[in-house]
Amino acid sequence: MRRLIAFLLGALLAAPLAAQQAMPVIAVPPLATPSDKPTSGGQTTLGLAWSASQLIASDLRTTGEMMAFAPDRKDYYSYPEVTAPSYPKWRARGVKALLTGFVQARDDGRLTVGCYVYDVERGRELGRTGFVVAPEEWRRAAHKCSGLAYQSLTGAPGTFDTRVAYVARSGAGAAQVKRLAIMDSDGFEHSYLTEGGADVLTPRLSPNASRLAFVSYETGKPQIRLLDLATGEQRPLLPDNDAMTFAPRFSPDGNDLLFSMTAAGNTDIYLIGVGGGGPRRLTTSPGIDTSPSFSSDGSQIAFESDRSGSQQVYVMNSDGSNQRRISFGGGGFAAPEWSPDGKRIAFTRRGLEGMRIGTMAADGSDQRLLSSGPGDEGPQWAASSRELIFQRTDPAGGNALYRVTLSGGEPRRIVTPTPGSDPDWSGTRE
Amino acid sequence: MMRTFLTLACAALVLAPVPVVAQRGHIINRILPRRAAPPQPQLVGIDALRADFLARSGSDTVLFGGDSAILGVPARATLAAQAQWLRQNPQVVIRVEGHAAVSDTREHALAVGARRAEEVRDYLVLMGVPAYQVTAVSMGKERPSGVNARAVTILVR
């Protein structure tokens, strides 16, 4: 009980009161196992059940949107109690929701992982999910359980079984080495995708995280390349083209790519099929048109243009028609990114106080800044549409990745092996 | 032609009196053959070309204001001098690197750098430099230095 109070106190201190009052509390007691069996992953099913419940509690806590009671050994429950929780016991502890589950060894060496989420106040089940996974993939199953709990409490899809691509930087100045890196959104399964021979920028994941488009200086010029994450094969987007190309973004179905190309000093937006075909030009203004981003239904494209004199956010139909400015107000608005739920557009604002990130409604109204700057840029959406990942540059030029929730609170740093920039966040994996 | 060029390269890198000494040394050598000539810096290849280019153009860098790619009077004077040198050295290939401010956003910075690099390339071509000699490249905000609103002419070979 003392530990509980200490935890509550810590949470109270960490979050603003308004957010605190609205923040649901979920208990994650240790998952059960029908019988403790060894697995090929090194741990027994009981050990994996313990690790999985810790990971679920940690996942839910990192959202900043709910309080999750960490698993406690005194809260072990029996296998039958997975589907028949003791509501009065949890009600007495003041929790709103409860996650139970089990890890069971199968005859074929794999595991069955099941999860249930309950509304403790009303005494009813909110959802259930189950998977058969290899013992080495227990983390993904736990992330899926976290997603179930998150969706049950917020109504939005979870972002736990997702990947983050970014540019890992080592060294300084002209000798700085930039490599493409990718990791699970909790920092595990980290790997480098390029060697660092050529500078790389702005990795963008296809929606199901199977492909990566990025800018490379392989040819000496900034040009977009495509990387197949399953095979590791790379190819230039426009093999026979000498022009500078950058700002790649996949369409929601992953079949098309938006990008910018500079020709005769003029940068415009183009659309091309990933499988082939020629690029189609969508903008023709004499200014810089870049950072295109599809709406979730693919019918519209947000982009930035400095045709009015400063960088502002514009929206056009996906064929390039009906171009209209939607951002107004002090400073410039750059790098728009349409949210997966289609409701809001994230942006980087350039002003006298430096660069800050924020969001606006899809029609440009209701602007809200989410970071204090002065070196914050490049927000990318989580699959939930409730959180953003972005890059912060400190005054000394150091880079780091941060995430921030739309509901408020301070941005939190994401730990990477080396300084990181240019993050992109995938959708939920199948 | 080649000798003229080498003399110029020497003039560019070492103190002005040295070529005079060299000439005198040549004469002295003729009169007193046993006396060794003073050692001369051996500048050959791309380093010599770069030194000469820098000395004769005044600068390898032109500056811009804000996010603009407009070439001011000092920039045009520098580029005119660069163009004259490039016309006289048609075998040289250059790369114009356009840079943008660190305070710019990543992708806009790439576009601004591209516009600056292409503006400089186009001006050099306007001043009579064959287009095949020049490649324009944007470095965006990836190579920050004291002044980032700049374009730098780099001799590749």
Average pLDDT for A28-56:
93
Whether residue B32 has pLDDT greater than 90:
no
Tens digits of residue pLDDT in B73-122: 999 999 999 999 999 999 999 999 999 999 999 999 999 999 999 999 99
Tens digits of residue pLDDT in A105-137: 999 999 999 999 999 999 999 999 998 999 999
- Could you tell me the residue range of the domain that residue B22 belongs to? 2-31
Cβ-defined contact of B138 to A221 (cutoff 8 Å) = yes
Q: Name residue A315's beta-bridge partners.
A: A302, A324
pLDDT of residue B5: 45
Q: Looking at per-residue confidence, does A227 or B143 come out higher?
A: A227
For residues A18 and A146, state if they share a domain: yes
Q: Which of A215, A264, A304 sits opposite B108 (nearest CB)?
A: A304
How far is it, in rounded angstroms, from Cα A223 to Cα A234? Answer: 13
% of chain A surpassing 90 pLDDT: 81
Average pLDDT for A204-215:
93
Q: Is residue A116 part of a domain?
A: yes
For residues B13 and B73, state if they share a domain: no
Interface of B with A (CB under 8 A): 67, 69, 95, 102-108, 110-112, 114-115, 118-119, 122, 135, 137-138, 140, 142-144
pLDDT band at A42 (very low <50, low <70, confident <90, very high): confident
> Closest Cα of chain A to B150: distance in Å?
15
Is A66:A25 a contact under the CB 8 Å cutoff?
A: yes
Which of A332, A387, A333, A331 has the alpha carbon at shortest distance from A360?
Answer: A333
Number of inter-chain CB pairs under 8 A, A vs B: 87
C-alpha distances (whole Å) from A384 to each of A151, A160, B59 are: 9, 10, 52
Fill in the DSSP letter of residue A173: G
Question: What are the strands of the beta sheet with A276-281, ordered from one edge?
Answer: A244-250, A256-263, A266-273, A276-281
For residues B16 and B49, state if they share a domain: no
How far is it, in rounded angstroms, from Cα A198 to Cα A219? Answer: 8
Chain A residues with CB under 8 Å of B71 CB are none
Q: Is residue A278 part of a domain?
A: yes
How far is it, in rounded angstroms, from Cα A319 to Cα B44? Answer: 55
User: E-assigned strands of B31-133?
Assistant: 61-63, 94-99
- Residue A321: CATH number of its domain: 2.120.10.30
Q: Is residue B38 part of a domain?
A: no
Average pLDDT for A7-14:
39
For residues A241 and A129, state if they share a domain: no
pLDDT of residue B38: 55
**Interface residue of B97, B102, B105 to substitute, partner A, most A CBs within 10 Å:** B105
How far is it, in rounded angstroms, from Cα A278 to Cα A120? Answer: 57
How far is it, in rounded angstroms, from Cα A40 to Cα B3? Answer: 76
Is A24:A153 a contact under the CB 8 Å cutoff?
A: yes
For residues A176 and A131, state if they share a domain: no
pLDDT band at A17 (very low <50, low <70, confident <90, very high): very low
Q: Looking at per-residue confidence, does A107 or B145 come out higher?
A: A107
For residues B126 and B151, state if they share a domain: yes
Cβ-defined contact of A265 to B103 (cutoff 8 Å) = no
Q: Is residue A247 part of a domain?
A: yes
- Could you tell me the residue range of the domain that residue A190 belongs to? 163-425
Q: Looking at per-residue confidence, does B131 or B40 come out higher?
A: B131
Cβ-defined contact of A265 to B110 (cutoff 8 Å) = no
Strand, helix or coil for residue A163: strand
Q: Which of B67, B108, B115 sits opposite A265 (nearest CB)?
A: B115
Average pLDDT for B4-10:
44
CB count in 10 Å sphere of residue B145:
12
Whether residue A21 has pLDDT greater than 90:
no
For residues B22 and B52, state if they share a domain: no
Fill in the DSSP letter of residue A70: P
Whether residue A190 has pLDDT greater than 50:
yes
pLDDT of residue B39: 57
pLDDT band at A409 (very low <50, low <70, confident <90, very high): confident
Cβ-defined contact of B142 to A201 (cutoff 8 Å) = yes
pTM, two decimals, is 0.84
Mean pLDDT score of chain A:
91
Cis ω before A374 (30° cut-off from 0) = yes
For residues A136 and A208, state if they share a domain: no
Residues whose CB is less than 8 angstroms from the CB of residue B111 and which lie 6 or more positions away in sequence, other chains included: A246, A260, A262, A267, A288, A290, B138
For residues B49 and B120, state if they share a domain: yes
pLDDT band at A267 (very low <50, low <70, confident <90, very high): very high
How far is it, in rounded angstroms, from Cα A197 to Cα B86? Answer: 30
pLDDT of residue B41: 54
The number of folded domains in chain A is 2
For residues A13 and A80, state if they share a domain: yes
Whether residue B144 has pLDDT greater than 90:
no
Q: Is residue A287 part of a domain?
A: yes
Tens digits of residue pLDDT in B36-68: 555 555 556 888 899 999 999 999 999 999 889
Whether residue B31 has pLDDT greater than 70:
no
ipTM of the complex: 0.86
pLDDT of residue B40: 54
Q: Is residue B143 part of a domain?
A: yes
pLDDT band at A265 (very low <50, low <70, confident <90, very high): confident
pLDDT of residue A22: 67
pLDDT of residue B64: 96
Which of A341, A344, A342 has the alpha carbon at shortest distance from A326?
Answer: A344
% of chain A surpassing 70 pLDDT: 95
For residues B27 and B49, state if they share a domain: no
- Residue A137: CATH number of its domain: 3.40.50.10070
Fill in the DSSP letter of residue B38: P
Cβ-defined contact of B110 to A348 (cutoff 8 Å) = no
For residues B65 and B102, state if they share a domain: yes
Whether residue B10 has pLDDT greater than 90:
no
pLDDT of residue B36: 55
The number of folded domains in chain B is 2
Tens digits of residue pLDDT in A76-93: 999 999 999 999 999 999
Whether residue A370 has pLDDT greater than 90:
yes
Q: What would the two tokens of residue A159 be?
A: 């972002």
pLDDT of residue A427: 87
Which of A139, A152, A145 has the alpha carbon at shortest distance from A115?
Answer: A145
How far is it, in rounded angstroms, from Cα A390 to Cα A396? Answer: 18
pLDDT band at A329 (very low <50, low <70, confident <90, very high): confident
Amino acid identity of A50? W
For residues A140 and A181, state if they share a domain: no
For residues B86 and B11, state if they share a domain: no
For residues A124 and A197, state if they share a domain: no
Q: Looking at per-residue confidence, does B9 or A250 come out higher?
A: A250
Which of A172, A245, A176, A177 has the alpha carbon at shortest distance from A213?
Answer: A245
pLDDT of residue A428: 83
Q: Is residue A430 part of a domain?
A: no
How far is it, in rounded angstroms, from Cα A420 to Cα A203? Answer: 12
For residues A136 and A183, state if they share a domain: no
Q: Name residue A11's beta-bridge partners.
A: none
Chain B residues with CB under 8 Å of A266 CB are 115
- Sign of the CA dihedral running A180, A182, A185, A186: negative
Average pLDDT for A418-429:
93
Tens digits of residue pLDDT in A159-186: 999 999 999 999 887 788 999 999 999 8
